[in-house]
Chain A
Amino acid sequence: MGRRLLVATRKGLFTIERSGSGAGWEVVGVAFEGDNVPMTLADPRDGALYAALDHGHFGSKFHRSGDGGSTWEEVAVPVFPEQGPEDVETHPFTGQPQPWALDKVWALEPGGPEEAGVLWCGTIPGGLFRSGDGGRSWALVETLWRHPSRKAWFGGGADRPGIHSICLDPRDPGRLMLGVSCGGVWATDDGGASWDCRASGMFAAYMPPEHKDDPNIQDPHRVVRCRDEPDCLWAQHHNGIFRTTDGASSWHEVASDRVPSTFGFAVAVHPEDPDTAWFVPAQKDEKRIPVGGKVVVTRTRDGGRSFDVITAGLPQRNAYDLVYRHAMDVDDRGEVLAFGSTTGSLWVSEDSGDSWLAVSEHLPPVYCVRFSA
């Protein structure tokens, strides 16, 4: 079961561990204290740790640790290629020129088990980058970047669109599924040689009616894939919760009236059971706060037909915790879960979400929570 967590925050990368006696979880270390850490990854293949730093004035950087976080080295960060005169593009709404330059690292995932050193990185603007050497160099996946439909993507919460979810197919690491805000779900079955948008069934109530069902402008806030049933994916979408059981050929909305809200960012799927998924809802897009000041986790165990609303161990009054899209994770057995909030709370469950324990309520705003072997 998961016993160690990496928690990337606005002001540092924290390591949280379960104490040997089982008495609880505690902060055992912090790296990059005071610095903005939007993304982290513990590579299950070689144990390497990665942290993306956003220095604001000085841009985004990547650091890697090969010794469990004792020491870190700065490695390469994705860089967009030179923008030729024919590559000029403008923002679809403002008409402002859009430079090919990295704004933010928004997703980081390991390649397949046999692909040592392969990493995938999603960025704002909407670039997908591949590293074959553990982040020491990166190459833009030009087939996606130069896909004509890519220019129709637009920003959701950020000014520019970005790739926040990268879901490898455990059966074949050449099959990737991406979540894009706002650009729907994109997939390749041939290692990135060709791409197509697979968001049919999603809808966007915020768009003019004629664009509501356009797959390429959908805003899936987060997309996750069931490890043992990879044709099943869940999306916490701007407009609700969607699920596919056919490898994203079609999506369908689930149980829109059964939970306090279907708005939110985070979703986790049980690695073994494609019918079980967890969410942390917020009131709605205009009010990104827990409904009624109560933090709840919603869980379905029947593919979205019904939801449990779980409150045990979570604050039920005057709570304003919002949970970002990367800030919830489930361990590789589906037993231990953790999530962190914008107000610096971190909760862990050891019973598949039935009850929760507050590890800290005083961390910096939490961006990313991940189990580390």
Chain B
Amino acid sequence: MARVVFTQNIQRHVACPASEVAGSSVRAVLDAVFEANPRARGYVLDDRGALRKHMSVFVDGDRIADRVGLSDPVPEGAEVYVFQALSGG
């Protein structure tokens, strides 16, 4: 199981509570989260299922390398953080 935590910033638009899900890759973990919370998918991933341009995912403190395929491994017991770079005015 992995623990998935979402940025506070997204909660204003769609509730994304922290959750424990199964999966050994970022794709598998996020798919599991979005299966239970389908509206959240479009807020994090784009039409292709790639990570949105200004979103970031960290696994146990390391930024993932594969932003399109989301193939980075997720070890058992890992913490997955989904957040965004703040910008704008």
A residues within 8 Å of B by Cβ? Answer: 55-59, 61, 74, 77, 79-80, 82-83, 99-102
* A77 neighbours in B (Cβ, 8 Å): 42
Which residues of B have CB within 8 Å of A79?
42, 47
Q: Give which listed residue, A56, A58, A74, A83, contacts B48 with CB less than 8 A.
A: A83
Q: Which residues of B contact A80 (CB under 8 A)?
A: 47-48
Taking the closest CB of chain B, its distance from the CB of A58, in whole angstroms, is: 4
Chain A residues within 8 Å of B10, by CB: 58
7 interchain residue pairs of minimum CB distance: A57-B84, A101-B47, A58-B43, A101-B46, A57-B54, A80-B47, A79-B47
A74 touches B39 (CB 8 A): yes
- Number of A-B residue pairs with CB-CB distance less than 8 Å in the complex they form: 45
Contact A58 B52 (CB under 8 A): yes
Cβ contact of B52, chosen from A57, A61, A74, A82, cutoff 8 A: A57
Chain B residues with CB below 8 A from A55, complex form:
13, 43
CB-CB under 8 A from B84, the residues of chain A are: 57-58
| Contact code string B11-29 (vs A, CB < 8 Å = 1, else 0) | 0010000000000000000
**B contacts with A: majority SS:** loop
A58 to B, closest residue via Cβ: B43
A57-B55, A58-B10, A59-B42 given; A100·B48 CB < 8 A: yes
> Which of B13, B42, B55, B85 gathers most chain A CB within 10 Å?
B42
Chosen A-B contacts, 20 in total, with CB atoms closer than 8 Å, are A56-B54, A57-B9, A57-B52, A57-B54, A57-B55, A57-B85, A58-B10, A58-B13, A58-B42, A58-B84, A59-B42, A59-B43, A61-B13, A77-B42, A79-B42, A79-B47, A99-B48, A100-B48, A101-B47, A101-B48
Complex: A57 Cα to B55 Cα, angstroms: 6
- Told that A56-B88, A99-B48, A100-B48 touch, could you supply 10 new A-B pairs with CB distance under 8 A? A55-B13, A56-B87, A57-B55, A58-B10, A58-B44, A61-B42, A83-B48, A99-B46, A99-B47, A101-B46
Interface residues in B49-89 (C-beta closer than 8 Å to A):
50, 52, 54-55, 84-85, 87-88
CB contacts (< 8 Å) of A102 on chain B: these are 46-47
Scoring A61, A100, A101 by chain B CB atoms within 10 A of each residue's CB, the highest score goes to A101
Complex interface: chain B residues within 8 A of A100 (CB): 47-48
- Min Cβ gap B58→A in Å is 15
B87 contacts which chain A residues (CB < 8 A)?
56
- Chain B residues positioned under 8 Å from A58 (CB to CB): 10, 13, 42-44, 52, 55, 84
Q: How far is the CA of A58 from the CA of B9 in the complex (A)?
A: 10
CB neighbours (8 Å) of B42 from chain A are 58-59, 61, 77, 79
Query: Nearest chain-B residue to A78 (Cβ)?
Result: B47
Chain B residues, CB < 8 A from A101: 46-48, 50
- Cα-based distance from A341 to B84 in the complex (angstroms): 30
Across-interface contacts of A99 in B (CB, < 8 A): 46-48, 50
Cα distance A79–B88 in the bound complex, in angstroms:
25
A57 and B88 CA atoms in complex are apart in Å by: 10
Q: Say how far B38's CB is from chain A's closest CB, in angstroms.
A: 11
Q: For the complex, what is the distance from the CA of A83 to the CA of B48, rounded to whole Å?
A: 8
Distance A137 CA – B84 CA, assembled complex (angstroms): 27
Q: Mark B28-47, 1 if CB is under 8 A from A, else 0.
A: 00000000000100111011
